[in-house]
Structure 1
């Protein structure tokens, strides 16, 4: 492998005061990739402004494309196509069988190689006036409504990258196809889902027998957390065993292990993100005993149930577990509004469906006397939610609160009957002393505004 790289001019023999250990990695096709353990070098390397998009950014962008056909292009050995400055080469030296070598091209394992590679390829595509595409380092995807359209776009991308000095293997070009994988995710009609082979691999995994195996299992499922409602709460028992000195796999861990595999097996596709005045964006948010959950959904005329755009969840941090029930619900709504705005934008109306009414509290200047969160935290909540709520016009505010029973499982999503266009709506419940213990913290009380006038009951909910 090293001889081949030397023949190709990628590496050459050298004498350098620097040296790092090699770390070969076997690729999925069985071939070996020469990487070097540059952890020590990475620690002392100055920071570089990142140009590589977050993994979620291409997903959000691709979700918004109502594409029927896709094609992907994987640039071969992109790092090795980018020359390394002569004065920088000594610090990348490594030794193999008593002979010291260094790189003439951008090495794998150095922390800035992905950023530099992404930027160089992006510049080449822009210079060549490439058709609309999404690029993440050396992976590129194009889309369209017909196979011919996508084929032409793909050929244009290939010509631009070849002209820029990059190489492309025919086996690394996929499509045009109606279903395709990009960055490990399966795409079809603007929706992304977990590939079948990934589901099969996860569902046949045996229960871990030590902390390392538990961490490996969590690593295999963590990327797919957006497909799993209340992911953080489900896997919380598994994280507990990785933090203890002694490994102990109890029935609680076994139940969590079985449940998360079941959730992975039945995970739904997410998206697409649709635009237009007829699209209703509904944000569900809730605070449970162990953490927060929120999920934006979309619904268009003709759909009985909406489509999920993603599921977010997290455990309580530090003092958050001591918040009042209302504060926890506001926190869940706050986190949800941030996530939903990233997915659907800030210019669309958002129907907020928490388990407790929170919007009215945000427009009250005076903080409740029983609050546990700091004044600064309350100010942060109020600033974001009220600002988002005022976007639009009085007839179509940016956030409209909908009080509804929080749906579960396959019933997640508002039906036509449940959907409301006024703020707020609630139902009269049983007397407080008749409620189950787990529901008492979510009970809504009525104050002196609840009264009888004539033969009609006049009331409004107050937390």
Structure 2
């Protein structure tokens, strides 16, 4: 900002991204303090500027070689009803509704700071966004301009600090039988105390924690995040047993994948510290208290660790988004996936979601956003409009998995491969030798048969299988199989060329009673199992069952 100029200016390289929006202006030039003239100015540009929650339209002259991306002059400062405080380097102003704001301005790094920390006011470079190479090389100049305007119009939404949802509070539903509790807390390791203390102070500053008096004391859990930082969570086992169940929950994966048929372009957002963006009712905060260095703190927002945290977030987001948004926007806890059948639609859908976030005080992490993707990583899968694949990084982890040495490691391995069971036709049969060791009272002895089973599982996952999304106006086929140890089912369709393509695989082991069934009974059991598993696709339509039993 500059109080010695009356007009607003924008640097020519920045304005070039808005070339379609520029208007001609009578030839003029800018004269500097020591008499230097700029080249002739031929264009002007109307820019929407957002600082914190206040928006202003400013008309800028396009100037080449400006030392800052944009310079705000007296004209806009007057429109903002701004007051500059030299002593503390702050700026006070009012938004369009007359609501006052105050920010600290650092002229060395172009950043503003409000009570919640830094708010970047420079432009987001759309060329650096995490975007599919397909779109990055095919976007027209007008489309790049449109993306730039779109992203920077809602620049305040992108923040590493959690926002705070407006006009919503979540109240814990607590059993009337709840009694005071003070759970034994875990000692904080000496070498982590300074970091934990600093994190608690930071959480107070950004409005996540407050000091309180409470007779409900939970232990504090310290979680090491992948980036090396700490996350403070409640060990809320005592509290959770008194919390009543909530109806909201994430949709099943089959329901999720059914939505994407025909989608050609995807964008995904990740909410910043998602639960912390949901305010907690004052009457509920006392239940979230914990003790650190003889001081009691409570959460002002929904903490990580509650059994109802996910329900709280889903309810809050559900109140924001209308039902019709489900045709292009999936909310899966803190991940938001936008999917569209055309790029034109996708720009509209992105704007809709960003506006919802902006209007309601939510923030997302720019670094975790995936933009304009032909296929996108989502929920551990690689997703496209054609179907889904296993994430190659996770598959590689299976292939490199070391042979289990004890029961705990075996359970972890089986749980890991079960995540991708939909890709394997006979996973239950392959795993069956390993499950013997899971039985109660069985001594750990790793046999050659188990080693062979372990290796066969790796070989099966080395063969990459792509599952296709179903086409609803085509016939479904259910192929079933049964053996003396397991049943399996395979749902597929046939394309225009007569070739089958897989939609999903399921299998399970037989219990002791079922292993005494006759062949006919086992085949019927497999059909029943397959129909139940794929009920969402098969109910209400005709389908073909294929079995090898005659």
SS in 2 for 1:311: strand
Q: How does 1:343-358 map to 2 (within 5 A)?
A: 344-357=537-550
Q: Would you say the 8 A contact 1:131–1:153 is kept in 2?
A: no
SS in 2 for 1:327: helix
Question: What displacement does 1:74 show?
Answer: 1.3
Question: What displacement does 1:300 show?
Answer: 2.0
Task: Describe the superposition over 1:122-158 as per-residue Cα deviations: whole angstroms up to 9, x where unpaired.
Answer: 2212289686211111211122233343233123212
SS in 1 for 2:216: coil
| Alignment partner of 2:243 out of 45, 56, 70 | 45
Q: Would you say the 8 A contact 1:130–1:157 is kept in 2?
A: no
Relative to structure 1, the CA distance from residue 130 to residue 274 in structure 2 (aligned partners, 3 Å threshold; closer, same or farther) is closer
Relative to structure 1, the CA distance from residue 162 to residue 77 in structure 2 (aligned partners, 3 Å threshold; closer, same or farther) is farther
Relative to structure 1, the CA distance from residue 46 to residue 295 in structure 2 (aligned partners, 3 Å threshold; closer, same or farther) is same
Relative to structure 1, the CA distance from residue 250 to residue 129 in structure 2 (aligned partners, 3 Å threshold; closer, same or farther) is closer
- CA separation in 2, counterparts of 1:6 and 1:246? 51
Task: Describe the superposition over 1:370-406 as per-residue Cα deviations: whole angstroms up to 9, x where unpaired.
Answer: xxxxxxxxxxxxxxxxxxxxxxxxxxxxxxxxxxxxx
Question: What displacement does 1:79 show?
Answer: 0.9
Question: What displacement does 1:306 show?
Answer: 0.7
SS in 2 for 1:167: coil
Structure 1 gap segments, 5+ residues each:
358-463
Aligned match of 2:469: 272
Aligned match of 2:317: 121
SS in 1 for 2:246: coil
| Alignment partner of 1:30 out of 228, 239, 242 | 228
Question: What displacement does 1:82 show?
Answer: 1.1
Write 1 or 2 for the structure with the bigger share of strand: 2
Aligned match of 2:154: none
1:312 paired with 2:525, answer no
Task: Describe the superposition over 1:193-234 as per-residue Cα deviations: whole angstroms up to 9, x where unpaired.
Answer: 101111111111110111111122122211101111111121
| Alignment partner of 1:216 out of 394, 406, 412 | 412
Aligned match of 2:109: none
Q: Would you say the 8 A contact 1:12–1:104 is kept in 2?
A: yes
Aligned match of 2:105: none
SS in 2 for 1:217: helix
RMSD: 2.0
Aligned match of 1:461: none
Between 237-246 and 103-112, the greater mean CA deviation after superposition: 237-246
Higher-Rg member (1/2)? 2
Aligned match of 2:345: 149
Question: What displacement does 1:239 show?
Answer: 2.5
| Alignment partner of 2:383 out of 149, 162, 187 | 187
Task: Describe the superposition over 1:333-385 as per-residue Cα deviations: whole angstroms up to 9, x where unpaired.
Answer: 1111222331x34233211101225xxxxxxxxxxxxxxxxxxxxxxxxxxxx
**Number of paired residues?**
351
Relative to structure 1, the CA distance from residue 282 to residue 323 in structure 2 (aligned partners, 3 Å threshold; closer, same or farther) is same
Question: What displacement does 1:236 show?
Answer: 2.0
- CA separation in 2, counterparts of 1:340 and 1:46? 31
Relative to structure 1, the CA distance from residue 262 to residue 320 in structure 2 (aligned partners, 3 Å threshold; closer, same or farther) is same
Aligned match of 2:458: 261
Aligned match of 2:437: 241
Q: Would you say the 8 A contact 2:223–2:230 is kept in 1?
A: yes
Question: What displacement does 1:313 show?
Answer: 0.5
SS in 1 for 2:298: strand
Between 24-33 and 70-79, the greater mean CA deviation after superposition: 24-33
Give the alignment's TM-score, normalised by structure 2: 0.61
| Alignment partner of 1:329 out of 523, 527, 541 | 523
| Alignment partner of 1:7 out of 186, 200, 205 | 205
Relative to structure 1, the CA distance from residue 130 to residue 229 in structure 2 (aligned partners, 3 Å threshold; closer, same or farther) is closer
- CA separation in 1, counterparts of 2:315 and 2:280? 15
- CA separation in 2, counterparts of 1:46 and 1:231? 37
Aligned match of 1:99: 295
Q: Would you say the 8 A contact 2:495–2:501 is kept in 1?
A: no
